[in-house]
A and B are shown apart, each in its own frame.
Chain A
């Protein structure tokens, strides 16, 4: 019987591997036949295209272009994840509010964004909003510090004007001190039961020392506010229109999914917990913060990490609005006669590595948070 099992598996493997080899063989044959290179050496060729909003020159290699694309993917994914989570949690909790208007408004938001394809949302934000913003001359200035025009959104940013060494050292000391204060307050709480307020203490110490360091270090940073000129803006930090559109669209879309997950996870906390919290005398907000949300958080981690993964994968739709993330770079490379097979395989490899990283982090967090005695 065992021999049969092993024999069957051997045959199966041979069939699968044989099929894959046949495909690869065809690929190599066709590549050679059509004059394409078959290795990955094409990556050192000149790119022949420039990437906007970066220092990438068209004389740099295709490999470098792909790296810049990968960085852009990460830029939009990471910030998108942060924004989507904040918005999603707020709306998810709003869905359960006692206020009818808030509840219905949140439901309206979720039902709208969940049922429309991401691509349409991205196109809408890019072609319907960002492009229609006023040109630079008539840029809208929010609160006099943020400039919005069809060339992008410019926000104030830090500008380094002095040597930051002294400040850097003091900043390091500040961080260490903050961590030490955190542990001190936690230990004190364990001993005496007084509220630790460690966030306030740590944060306060950090801010205090950073301010001291800033002053003593000779004020090495200033805040650079954007100046609106006739043809362009100077100063500040510019979010390109493509980036802004993609970011906003992804955040809004993913937030609607996260809101549903948050709502589901809050609802799945047994009602007895809320009732017990009420019986003990906690206010509504305390009940949320100390009883419901921690338990809901644990339940919601796998689905939410799945949404993070979806956001990273949906960033590939930047190709539709010419945001130069990995997929767009690949598409342009193929148009510049890079071999399609290798380019797409590399692209898939990039996304697989992102998936794997997110899955690893999720597993780690999950393992640390699972209750004893449950899988």
Chain B
């Protein structure tokens, strides 16, 4: 047992709350389900209702639904009109991403994992495979629909790469942790180039789920610097700057996203001088999303900026740092660290909001889901429900997984604890 150095007395164990008796199943049911008369009635009524819902959903998914439309169009749903002969580029990009993300995930938690092992810190929740639960479910469903051995082998290979790089990452010394975000970004860029460069497929030809992810990632990355600038401008001491930033933020937060997308789609041509051709549809969508997201990111970052204690700024001023240095070196790092969960939340919303470009004709996941029901084989059979449920599954698993990870992150950063 560890001892305190100067007195050689044992360090007292931290007090733990009294252990709760594990209840047998019968006792548990009595307490949690039938605690009082009202409780019992609720349990019965609710239980019946839930059972009915589960039955109807189960019957639909496993018996009634005609999933053929999804099976035959799984590639369409995933990548839209992406040329089929270039699909190998996407698989290659997935390998790169798996390697980089696996390594990053391994390298980032090194110190924390050591602390948990030595008992100095509490584990955050179920780790390992259970964390990836929703993703595994999604990939499993996709593979089932694809029913191709090739796809299965590729997915297994990619997972293997991810696991191996994860183990490698765990073995790296802690000072590498600083460079992980940069490494991940580089990996994303490399993956992007693998797909688009050297005779590859430009992003205006992407579709389906690929386009959904691309829109969300591009929008959050591009809107981030813009949003930070707006947040800083909103706190500026110059009234003119502050007024302009406030006006922008309130304007773009007060209108629905669809109107901003309408603006980007229908109005962009009018803003450009004569002779400059209008950008592609995907580019317009990204511009719309960036304008919209920047306002929300600005509000999130503003919260973070407010949470930095003014003492920090005063100390920095006492040390003689210039305002620019203070912002860049002292304020922003702390502010951004504090709002990472908020930014992840915004990314999740963006991931779901990309479905809106369906209204404007871009072939992302939802649009493909509708289009495939118009194929000659499947026309007018009311199959849109099946494809809609499939699309919902994809959105749901992505969003649910990211929310869970974000909650974990919040607990790890110790935020929200007063």
Q: Which residues of A contact B (CB under 8 A)?
A: 5, 8-10, 12-13, 16, 23, 26-27, 29-31, 33, 97-102, 105, 111-112, 114-120, 123-124, 127-128, 132, 309, 313-314, 316-317, 319-320, 327, 330-331, 334, 340-341, 344, 347-348, 351-352, 355-356
Contacts and interface: CB of A to CB of B under 8 A. Distances in A.
A331 B50 CA distance: 41
Which of A9, A352, A356 gathers the greatest number of chain B CB atoms within 10 Å? A9
A12 B240 contact: yes
Nearest to A10: B240
Contacts of A316: 256, 258-259
B391 A351 contact: no
Interface in B35-53: 35, 39, 42-43, 46-47, 49-50
B271 A26 contact: yes
Given A340-B270, A352-B255, A117 B47 contact: no
Contacts of B310: none
Contacts of B403: 114-115
A29 B259 contact: no
A30 B270 contact: yes
A196 to B, nearest CB: 27
Given A115-B400, A119-B356, A347 B259 contact: yes
Given A26-B272, A101-B33, A344 B267 contact: yes
Nearest to B264: A344
Contact of B262 (A98, A344, A352): A344
B266 interface: yes
Contacts of A29: 273-274
A330 B122 CA distance: 55
Interface string B115-154: 0000000000000000000000000000000000000000
Which residue, B240, B359, B391, has most C-beta atoms of chain A within 10 A? Answer: B240
Contacts of A13: 240, 244
A34 to B, nearest CB: 8
B315 to A, nearest CB: 23
B358 interface: yes
B241 interface: yes
B395 interface: yes
Main secondary structure of the interface of B (DSSP, over half): helix
A314 B256 contact: yes
A42 to B, nearest CB: 15
A26 B273 contact: yes
Given A98-B39, A99-B43, A120 B395 contact: yes
A340 B238 CA distance: 35
Contacts of B334: none
20 contacts: A8-B238, A12-B244, A26-B270, A29-B274, A99-B39, A101-B47, A102-B42, A116-B352, A116-B395, A117-B352, A127-B388, A128-B388, A320-B358, A327-B259, A327-B262, A340-B267, A347-B262, A351-B255, A351-B259, A355-B254
Contacts of A320: 358-359
Q: Say whether chain A's binding surface is mostly helix, strand, loop, or mixed.
A: helix
B259 A340 contact: no
A31 B274 CA distance: 11
A9 B255 contact: no
Contact of B43 (A101, A118, A327): A101
A99 B42 contact: yes
A234 B396 CA distance: 41
B123 to A, nearest CB: 23
Contact of A101 (B42, B269, B356): B42
Given A30-B272, A116-B395, 20 more contacts: A9-B240, A9-B241, A12-B244, A23-B271, A98-B32, A100-B33, A105-B50, A117-B353, A119-B359, A128-B384, A132-B382, A316-B258, A317-B258, A327-B259, A334-B266, A341-B267, A347-B262, A351-B254, A351-B256, A352-B254
B392 interface: yes
A31 B271 CA distance: 10
Contact of A12 (B33, B238, B396): B238
Given A117-B353, A344-B262, A351-B256, A105 B388 contact: no
Interface of B: 32-33, 35, 39, 42-43, 46-47, 49-50, 238-241, 244, 251, 253-259, 262-263, 266-267, 269-274, 352-353, 355-356, 358-359, 366, 382, 384-385, 388, 391-392, 395-396, 399-400, 403
Contact of B258 (A10, A16, A114, A319): A319
The 9 closest A-B CB pairs, nearest first, are A355-B254, A115-B399, A313-B256, A100-B32, A117-B352, A9-B240, A340-B266, A316-B256, A117-B355
B396 A116 contact: yes
A306 to B, nearest CB: 10
A313 B270 contact: no
Nearest to A34: B270
Nearest to A11: B240
Nearest to B373: A127
A33 B269 CA distance: 12
B238 A119 contact: no
Contacts of B391: 120
Given A16-B244, A105-B50, A341-B267, A5 B238 contact: yes
Contacts of A347: 259, 262
A347 B388 CA distance: 29
B395 A352 contact: no
Nearest to B36: A98
Nearest to B240: A9
A78 to B, nearest CB: 17
A356 B254 contact: yes
B270 A341 contact: yes
B269 A30 contact: yes
A5 B272 CA distance: 33
Contact of A344 (B238, B253, B263): B263
A226 to B, nearest CB: 27
Contacts of B270: 26-27, 30-31, 340-341
B238 A105 contact: no
A101 B28 CA distance: 12
B35 A98 contact: yes
A59 B343 CA distance: 49
A105 B49 CA distance: 10
B365 to A, nearest CB: 10
A169 to B, nearest CB: 43
Contacts of B271: 23, 26-27
B266 to A, nearest CB: 4
B400 A102 contact: no
